[in-house]
Amino acid sequence: MPSPLPSRSNNYQGALDTPLSVYLWNLVMGDVAARLAQAEAVRADFDELIAAGTGQALAVIQANVAPQLTALAQQVATLSADAATAQDIVEQINNGSIPASVVAETAARLWLTPGLRDTWNAKATPGQAQGMVDTAIAALKGGSLPPGLDTLVEIATALGNDPNAVASLSAAVGARLVKAANLADVVNKADARANLVVPSSDQAQVNTLRVAKSHPLAEAADLNALDIGGWFDVLNPVNGPGAGWWWIESQCHNADPAGWRRQRATSFATGAVYHRVRSSGTWSAWRAQGVLVPIARTAVSTPVAYVEHSVDFNEFMAAITIAMNVSAESGGYHRATLHDAGGATLDTMQSSLAVTYTNHTQSAILWGQDGFGAMGGIGSTSNISTAAKIRVFSAGGNLDSGTVATFGIVAP
């Protein structure tokens, strides 16, 4: 689209790309000449009015026409200056140069440089600006809020429109119990115990309600002094069923915990269980609850000379060793020998069946420091009071298959 020509409507301003020609010059200057002629005609009219001596016309001129003449004179001066400037520009263009004033930046005229263009293009669009606002609001919320609490007005309403809500909440929290105080900050402990249906003010008794895990007692704690109910663990207890680690279950009578109690002890090592009761202030002896406790199990899959198991007869009154589907590489009788802790042989027993790779024997051997023999058979009369180990083997060669298992017997 071509640029508009200089005219009255644009104060004879031309665009830089408007070609300067005789036609353009005559067009502009002709219009200027016409306007000057009009001005001179107006001035002649004024001269006639003045000459006529019409005071009223003079007053009208003074009131209405004079300002127009002044403005017109200013326009003529401006046009004359613009014409002179245009003439200078035309001359400089014809001489092959452009005046600096034409290309210089002003407050009303800025040239778009690549840097300014990039800066402008980097500015956020309305859509991007809205996105940034939405992101900032989401960050302020910190995530999805429940309906009814997702605006500041709703939150203020939920807080009771209390301008001191934080102080009120802090005061309320300050009135709560402190976890680290472990109920030491309860104002009225008697009322608290009554509300919790705790039977006594004895702090130790209150602490005995333990179901998640057992409560540790000090090493060598006296079980006679354990006058609270609960679940405990202890090492080498005094007045206990023996040395080592034990689980203790304690029950106390509600009305007379000092006179009536029941304790059950379970060995960590063997699983042996003992119990005793306190009746009218007197403890009974610890009594073991009869049970078979697995001690060792050996599966034979490659040839071995024998299978050996050890038993601690401080924990058990006797032991049973069972040979299941035992076979040997060559013929020979099934045998078992007892040994002391150092390995010395104390006694030997032999079954009446030969063991080979073609037949498998089953046998159960009852043994301990008081006896040694097959189940239902004749026992040994040898001195085996130091027995601690049993070996199962075949007189004819290595054992090559089967399973040997030993169990400890806890006296009832």
| pLDDT tens-digit readout, 302-352 | 999 999 999 998 878 889 999 888 888 776 777 889 999 999 998 888 776
Phi/psi at 386 (5° precision) = -105, 15
pLDDT range class, residue 33, cuts 50, 70, 90:
confident
Mean pLDDT across 103-122: 75
Give the span between the Cα atoms of 223 and 285, in whole angstroms: 13
* 313 and 296 Cβ atoms separated by less than 8 Å: no
Percent above pLDDT 70 for the chain: 80
Long-range pairs for 126-129 at CB < 8 Å and ≥24 separation?
Answer: none
Phi/psi at 293 (5° precision) = -110, 120
pLDDT range class, residue 98, cuts 50, 70, 90:
low
Phi/psi at 28 (5° precision) = -70, -50
What's the burial of 399, exposed, middle or buried (CB within 10 Å: 0-12/13-18/19+)? buried
Percent above pLDDT 90 for the chain: 20
pLDDT beyond 60 at 161: yes
- How does the average pLDDT of the chain come out, rounded? 78
What pLDDT digit, counting tens, does each position of 235-272 carry?
Answer: 999 999 999 999 999 999 988 888 999 999 999 887 77
CA 84, distance to chain mean position in Å, is 81
What pLDDT score does 245 carry?
95
What pLDDT score does 393 carry?
87
What pLDDT score does 45 carry?
72
What pLDDT score does 206 carry?
46
Mean pLDDT across 18-47: 75
How many CB atoms sit inside 10 A of residue 28's CB?
Answer: 20
What pLDDT score does 207 carry?
47
Mean pLDDT across 275-288: 90
What pLDDT digit, counting tens, does each position of 180-230 carry?
Answer: 777 777 777 777 766 665 555 444 444 444 455 788 999 999 999 998 888
Sheet holding 399-410: strands in order across? 291-300, 399-410, 318-328, 361-367, 372-374
Give the span between the Cα atoms of 327 and 236, in whole angstroms: 44
Q: pTM score, two decimals?
A: 0.37
Give the span between the Cα atoms of 174 and 2, in whole angstroms: 81
- What residue spans of 246-346 are helical by DSSP H? none
- Residue 321, SS3 per DSSP: strand
pLDDT beyond 60 at 116: yes
Q: Report the relative pairing of strands 307-310 and 389-394 from DSSP bridges.
A: antiparallel
What pLDDT digit, counting tens, does each position of 351-405 carry?
Answer: 766 655 556 677 888 888 888 877 544 455 567 889 899 999 887 788 888 999 9
What pLDDT score does 204 carry?
47
pLDDT beyond 70 at 29: yes
Give the span between the Cα atoms of 34 and 42, in whole angstroms: 12
